[in-house]
Every structure is written in C-alpha cells, then in structure tokens.
Amino acid sequence: MPSPVKRLHHLDAARAALLLLGLPFHVATKAFFEMNPPATAFQQSLLIGGWASITHVFRMFAFFMLAGYFAGMMRTRKGGRAWLAERARRLLLPLVASLATLGLVQFGLQETLMHKPSPRFLGLPVALDHFWFLIVLFGFCAVYATIPARRIAPGVALQRAMLLSGSGSLVLLFALAGWGLVRFAIEHVPPIPDAPFETLLIQQFVFHAAGFAMGVLAWHGRIGDRFFALYKRWLTPAIIVLLAIYIPFDPLIRPALGKEIYPDFAGSLILRAVELPLAYLMAMALYRLLYRAVRGPSRIVTFVVDGALAIYLFHLVWAMVVLPQALALPLPPVAQWLAASAATLLLSVASYLAVRSTTLTSILFCGASQKSTSTRNVEPAARPET
C-alpha cells in the first residue's frame, strides 16, 4: 500500500504570505516609479522603502522555489503530459483573460490616474505589469517537462549544499551570486526596440530560473521536509551581513537614505551579486519561521490560497484606483501607504469573491472552478520525504 501522505501546512501559509507581501510592495512601487510626479514623500520614507526593499529581495525567489517544488510533486503524480496540460489551463487561460480585461483597464488607468503612459505589450494597448509571472512560470514548466525525470537526481553533495551543510553550501551561495551576475550582464544587453515589457520577460525568466530549479531539485532529492523547515544558527547573522551590503545599493530605499535612486556601475554589480544568495537565505528563514508557527490547517490561510491567483491578478487595478485618493488624505506618508494597501487588499478580495461566483469567471480568473478548488483543498500538499 502507498505510504500515508502528509500536508505541509506551513507551505500553504507561505503561499498566502508571499501573496500578501506583494500588495503593499506594488502600492509603494507604483508611487515610486510609475506616477507623474512620483510620490517623493513615499520615496523618502525609511519604513516604506525598507519594507519594499527587504520583501522584494526574497518574495519572488521564494514564490518560484515553491512553484518548482509543487511542479515536481504534481508532475510525479499526474505524469508529464497531463500535468503540463493542466498547467496550460491553470496559467494561460487566466493570463489571456487578464490581459484582455485587466490589462486593458490598467493601460488606461496608467495614463488617466498615474499620468505616466504605460508601454504596450506585443504592440497592443495592454499593460503587462505583474502578469509577467504567469508567462515566466509557464515557461519554466514547459522547459521542465522536456527533461526526463530520471535525469534529475541531485547527488548527496548537492542535497547537503541546499540544506546549507558543509563547505558545499558556500559553493552554492557563490553559484547563486554568479547567476545574479548573469542577470546583470543580460540587463546590459541592448533592449528589444520599443518593447520594454518583452525585454523584461527575458530578464525575469533568466533571473528566476534559479529559484524554480532549486524547488525542483528539492522535490527530486526528496528533501522537502528538511528543506522547508531548515534551521541553521548562523542563518540570521548571515542575512544581516548581506542585507547591510545590499540595502545601500537598492533603488527602492536609496532615496530614503539620501542617495540617487540608481547606484553606479560598481554598486549595481554588487547589488546583483548579493541579491540571490540573500534571497535564498531569507526564503529559508521564512519557511522555518512558518514551520514553527503553523502546525495545522487554517480557514484564513485556505481562503487566501484558494483566492491567491484572483486576488493577485486584480490587485494592481485597485492599487491604481486607490493610490491617488490615499495620497490626497491629510495623513503622514506611512499612513497613506497603509490605507492604500488595506483598501487594495479588501477590494481585491471582493473581486475574488465576485469572480468565483460563476463557473466561467472562476475558471478564467481563479484557474479552476469553485468545485475543483474545494476538491483540491482535501488533497495533501506534500508527501513525507525519505
């Protein structure tokens, strides 16, 4: 008989947390970079800039790491073809639906409310914005599906390195630093003419491949139970040291430190070299924290995870709507940011509740009908590792 399966509830909490961290981040970055004039009071706030900087370091890396792990799990359970077909339905349908509706709305709001025109995507009056993650994630899945599973067998040395044990862990961190420098090199390749979104897609695909690959390797190495609950005494000091190097060069916080937004060439080089090792360590710290805090199912976490895709798809429209209103409030910048973030979350949740009320809109914006979502909730999220 098959061995009993065990749901790793803290990974559900991680998915919910990574989603929620993105909402105040995008409220801040819209105010920083995509308003005319920019919200200089937001840029000069250490709290807003610090939040944006610190969460941005690890959020998407941790997201793609989880995506890679669950990709390995579901491919193993369903078989490569069935799994990839499901990924196409669960990712590409919401992508097309979002671009055809929300992308058009965001393109219009960018000029009317932000007063800074949006670039076009594929020559169309559509804003790609945060929808890039669906394209990149499906691209990773498509590449992964072409690799025979039997060829993905991380050896003991690599497993130990991923678990931050022995000298191999330093080699792994330096390898991640090297991958960050690959991104730095790609960023200095001349962009595709009149196609900033398309250029961004290439950069994001290369950069986030590291996180997805780490998740895939964790699954195939059968180290998930240890990997996502990792404890090392030196982890927090290492994060502090790397943050001290990283933060002075991060454009998200430099204005609050009294510096120009973008660092010079050497500063950009250091930023990219430090970013991925720091992201890896911070992701590990988040997983460990949630492992200790979350011991069982939570209705709130389940609700957020079920609605994660729709909430995330809708949130940028609402951020653009509420941000000018929040900036007009007679409140300190931090209070304006918190008010805009809270309103964005509430309106995004309301949008999720609306679209899940019919089968068609649930499939298009949630990636599945409400019935299939309910069925998925009783399935285990992970099996015990050996």
DSSP 247: G
Please, which pLDDT band fits residue 386 given cuts at 50, 70 and 90?
very low
The reported pLDDT for the residue numbered 353 is 96
**pLDDT, tens digit, for every residue of 93-136?**
999 999 999 999 999 999 999 999 999 999 999 999 999 999 99
- Whether residue 252 lies inside any domain: the answer is yes
Q: pLDDT tens digit string along 193-217?
A: 999 999 999 999 999 999 999 999 9
Average pLDDT over residues 362-382: 63
CA distance linking residue 306 with residue 12, whole number of Å: 10
Domain of residue 44, residue span: 9-377
Tokens of 265: 């060439």
pLDDT at 370: 65
Place of tokens 């799990």: 73
The pTM for the full model equals 0.92
The CA distance from 374 to 141, in Å, is 24
Distances (CA, A) of 44 to 28, 258, 259: 11, 8, 10
Once rounded to an integer, what is the mean pLDDT over residues 4-9? 59
Confidence of residue 264 (pLDDT cuts 50, 70, 90): very high
In angstroms, what CA-CA distances link 297 with 5, 80, 191?
Answer: 15, 29, 46
Which amino acid, 292? R
* 385 part of a folded domain: no
For residue 261, count CB atoms less than 10 angstroms from its CB and return exposed for 0-12, middle for 13-18, buried for 19 or more. Answer: middle
Is pLDDT above 70 for 306? yes
Interhelix angle 308-327/359-366, rounded to 10 degrees, is 80
39's CB contacts (< 8 A; 6+ apart) are 31, 32, 327, 333
In terms of C-beta density within 10 A (0-12 exposed, 13-18 middle, 19 or more buried), how is residue 164 classed? buried
> Two tokens at 82?
């069935």
| 3-class secondary-structure state, position 58 | helix
Give the DSSP letter string of 256-292. GGTS-SS--HHHHHHHHHHHHHHHHHHHHHHHHHHHH
Given a contact cutoff of 8 angstroms between Cβ atoms, the answer to whether 364 and 102 are in contact is no
| pLDDT tens-digit series, residues 24-56 | 999 999 999 999 999 999 999 999 999 999 999
375: pLDDT strictly greater than 70: no
Q: What is the pLDDT of residue 377?
A: 45
User: Does residue 32 lie within any of the structural domains?
Assistant: yes
In a domain, 13, yes or no: yes
Cβ–Cβ < 8 Å for 283, 187: no
Kindly state whether residue 77 falls inside one of the protein's structural domains.
yes
Tokens representing 98? 């979002």
Instruction: Read off the pLDDT band of 137 (50, 70, 90).
Output: very high
Task: Give residue 376's pLDDT.
Answer: 47
Look at the block and give the residue holding tokens 């943050």.
243
How does pLDDT run across 311-355, given as a tens digit for each residue? 999 999 999 999 999 999 999 999 999 999 999 999 999 999 999
Residue 118 burial (CB count, 10 A): 21
How many domains would you assign to the chain? 1
Contacts of 330 (CB under 8 A, 6+ apart): none
> Could you tell me if residue 1 is inside a domain?
no
Report which of 355, 325, 352, 354 is spatially closest to residue 340, judged by C-alpha positions.
Answer: 325
Asked if residue 2 belongs to a domain, the reply is no
Q: What are phi and psi of 20, to 5 degrees?
A: -65, -30
Residue 386 lies in a domain: no
3-state secondary structure of 121: strand
Backbone angles phi, psi at 294, to 5 degrees: -110, 115
| Per-chain mean pLDDT for the chain | 92
Q: Angle at the Cα of 184 (from 178 to 187), degrees rounded to 5?
A: 150
In the predicted structure, residue 383 carries a pLDDT above the cut 50: no
Q: What is the C-alpha separation between 267 and 281, in angstroms, rounded?
A: 21
Please state, for a pLDDT cut of 70, what percent of the chain lies above it: 94
Average pLDDT, stretch 292-296?
86
